[in-house]
Amino acid sequence: MGKRVSLAGWVHANRALGAVSFVVVRDRCGIAQVVLSESLALVPETVVEVEGDAIASAQAPGGVELHDPSFHVLAEPAEPPPIEMRRPVPKETLPTMLDLAPVALRHPQRRARFEIAAASLHGFRATLDELGFTEISTPKIVASATETGANLFSVDYFGRRAFLAQSPQLYKQMLVGVFERVYETGPVFRAEPHDTARHLAEYTSLDAELAFVRDHFDVMAIVREVIAGMVRAVRERAAPAVELLELELPEVPSEIPAVHFADTGVEDVDLAPADERRLCEERGALLFVTGYPMAKRPFYTHPEPDRPHYSNSFDLLFRGLEIATGGQRLHRYGDYVAALGDKTDPYDAYLQAFRYGMPPHGGFALGLERWVARLIGAHNVRETTLFPRDLNRLTP
Ligand code: AMO
């Protein structure tokens, strides 16, 4: 006889066989089959509480059955769910899954993706905590662009024009002057004018910035530690999700290979998506591309000392997609004044940091949705966003 256990969750599937019915109950840990000696009609997604004898059963979904149960319905759905939860992989298209997100996300195969995201976030934080970084939270309503003026969302801020932060770039740099090593995880906003598989209007940026670097290679060494820590955390904290999604987690080499932009064979000032795919096929699943032309980098970027047309910056490609960007920053006040020209006004407060002494520093930002998309082999970043925001989507 099994141990008496109690379980609360949702009716995942329900099957009557003569006088016996099998009810599969799903909770946050997985699924368990409940065997009833009566025929009980339960609508999928009914919320139930069950007490029964736990019996190991190889054939049962989840490997456990509850026998001789007492069953309480806690909440009845107003109507059956629009998605068949019992299918191992939902058959609905991505737009339908996104429209139905509050219920679609309950599907184990969907939920697993966000368990991977949560474990990744944990790995990011844990790695940087260990390396002496301080976690910060900076404003998302801001007065100036940080990346390019093109994709800024404007906000009416008590009658003044303000913007949604494109990145915590300026604040993380200012705070390097305070803490030396900082990181932040949070939403950032880009009014992306195109509907692409890699762009969201709001995404989760995992940012770090550190002082006393020699150049961008010191930053890349930290990126390597962070990626290794994120993979480790996914393996340890999201093992059931890794198994369910049959993921092959990447091996993170002790040094991630790097190629200079000048050696990529690309004539333009930036890589096209096809270049990113080709370079990863040729050189490795994880690959740094360094030295992007200054023409494509933001004003705070440090040039390459001997070839100032190139920059001390990098992108990290993972399985054919850019997932992170970073580099060494300008740190001398005079260099910022020269870089901004007559546009210093909105940056007055930021420039205080440089006027009063800033060490050589650099940092990076990694897009969480893109990272998880590449881990699970999803083509579209909307697949790994709980409630995506894009050109067409403001709800759910
Ligand atoms: P960048 O603009 O390259 O750099 O952004 C950094 C990373 O964020 C992700 N990302 C996006 N993800 C989804 N939708 C988008 N629209 C989107 N745009 C960017 C990508 C990208 O690699 N301040 C610099 C970082 C730094 O130098 O520290 C910045 O924001 O994964």
Q: Is residue 281 part of a domain?
A: yes
Q: What would the two tokens of residue 75 be?
A: 């909440």
Q: What pLDDT does residue 288 have?
A: 98
Q: What would the two tokens of residue 17 be?
A: 């066989």
| Domain identity same for 127 and 63 | no
Q: Is residue 90 part of a domain?
A: no
Q: What pLDDT does residue 171 have?
A: 98
Question: Which of 190, 370, 204 has the alpha carbon at shortest distance from 273?
Answer: 370
| Domain identity same for 113 and 248 | yes
- Compute the distance between CA of residue 314 and CA of residue 326 in angstroms, rounded to an integer: 5
| Domain identity same for 121 and 226 | yes
Q: Is residue 88 part of a domain?
A: no
Which residue, judged by its Cα, is nearest atom 25 of ligand 1?
A: 365
Q: What pLDDT does residue 145 have?
A: 84
Considering 36, 56, 75, which residue would you say is the last residue of a domain? 75
Please give the torsion angle defined by the CA atoms of residues 78, 79, 81 and 87, in that order, rounded to the nearest 10 degrees. 130
Q: What angle do CA 80, 86, 87 make, to 5 degrees?
A: 115
Instruction: From the CA of 315, give the closest atom in ligand 1.
Output: 22
Q: What is the pLDDT along the chain (396 residues), one digit of tens a residue?
A: 689 999 999 999 998 888 888 999 999 999 999 999 888 889 999 999 999 999 999 988 888 899 999 989 999 999 999 999 999 999 999 999 999 999 999 999 999 999 999 999 999 999 999 999 999 999 999 998 888 777 999 999 999 999 999 999 999 999 999 999 999 999 999 999 889 999 999 999 999 999 999 999 999 999 999 999 999 999 999 999 999 999 999 999 999 999 999 999 999 999 999 999 999 999 999 999 999 999 999 999 999 999 999 999 999 999 999 999 999 999 999 999 999 999 888 899 999 999 999 999 999 999 999 999 999 999 999 999 999 999 999 999
Please check whether residue 314 is in contact with residue 288, taking contact to mean a CB–CB distance below 8 angstroms. Answer: yes
User: What pTM did the predictor assign?
Assistant: 0.97
Considering 29, 56, 75, which residue would you say is the last residue of a domain? 75
Instruction: From the CA of 208, give the closest atom in ligand 1.
Output: 28
Q: Positive or negative, the Cα torsion across 107, 47, 395, 121?
A: negative
Question: Which of 176, 146, 178, 170 has the alpha carbon at shortest distance from 360?
Answer: 176
332 C-beta neighbours (distance < 10 Å), count: 13
Q: What pLDDT does residue 113 have?
A: 98
Instruction: From the CA of 323, give the closest atom in ligand 1.
Output: 31
Residue 327 near ligand 1, beta carbon < 6 Å: yes
- The half-sphere exposure of 90 on its side-chain side, counting CA atoms within 13 A, is 24
Q: Is residue 389 part of a domain?
A: no
| Domain identity same for 246 and 322 | yes
Which residue, judged by its Cα, is nearest atom 23 of ligand 1?
A: 169
Give the domain extent around 47: 4-75
Task: Assign residue 88 a region (left: φ > 0; alpha: ψ between -120 and 50; beta: otherwise).
Answer: alpha
Q: What pLDDT does residue 146 have?
A: 84
Q: Is residue 87 part of a domain?
A: no
Q: Is residue 395 part of a domain?
A: no
Q: Is residue 15 part of a domain?
A: yes
Residue 301 near ligand 1, beta carbon < 6 Å: no
CATH code of 299's domain? 3.30.930.10
| Domain identity same for 172 and 116 | yes
| Domain identity same for 199 and 158 | yes
Residue 206 near ligand 1, beta carbon < 6 Å: no
Q: What pLDDT does residue 304 have?
A: 98
- Compute the distance between CA of residue 168 and CA of residue 146 in angstroms, rounded to an integer: 8
Instruction: From the CA of 370, give the closest atom in ligand 1.
Output: 31
Sheet holding 141-142: strands in order across? 141-142, 160-164, 154-157
CATH code of 12's domain? 2.40.50.140
Instruction: From the CA of 192, give the closest atom in ligand 1.
Output: 16
> Which of 147, 167, 196, 286 has most ligand 1 atoms within 8 Å of its beta carbon, as the pocket-test mutant?
167
Q: What is the number of structural domains in the chain?
A: 2
Residue 203 near ligand 1, beta carbon < 6 Å: yes
| Domain identity same for 15 and 110 | no
Residue 325 alpha carbon to ligand 1 centre in Å? 6
Residue 388 near ligand 1, beta carbon < 6 Å: no
- Compute the distance between CA of residue 172 and CA of residue 155 in angstroms, rounded to an integer: 22
| Domain identity same for 178 and 307 | yes
Please check whether residue 158 is in contact with residue 353, taking contact to mean a CB–CB distance below 8 angstroms. Answer: no
> Which of 174, 205, 290 has most ligand 1 atoms within 8 Å of its beta carbon, as the pocket-test mutant?
205
| Domain identity same for 68 and 136 | no
Please check whether residue 170 is in contact with residue 145, taking contact to mean a CB–CB distance below 8 angstroms. Answer: no
| Domain identity same for 59 and 164 | no
Residue 358 near ligand 1, beta carbon < 6 Å: no
| Domain identity same for 369 and 329 | yes
Considering 75, 91, 120, which residue would you say is the last residue of a domain? 75
DSSP per-residue string spanning 230-266: HHHHHHHH-HHHHHHTT--PPP--SS--EEEGGGTT-
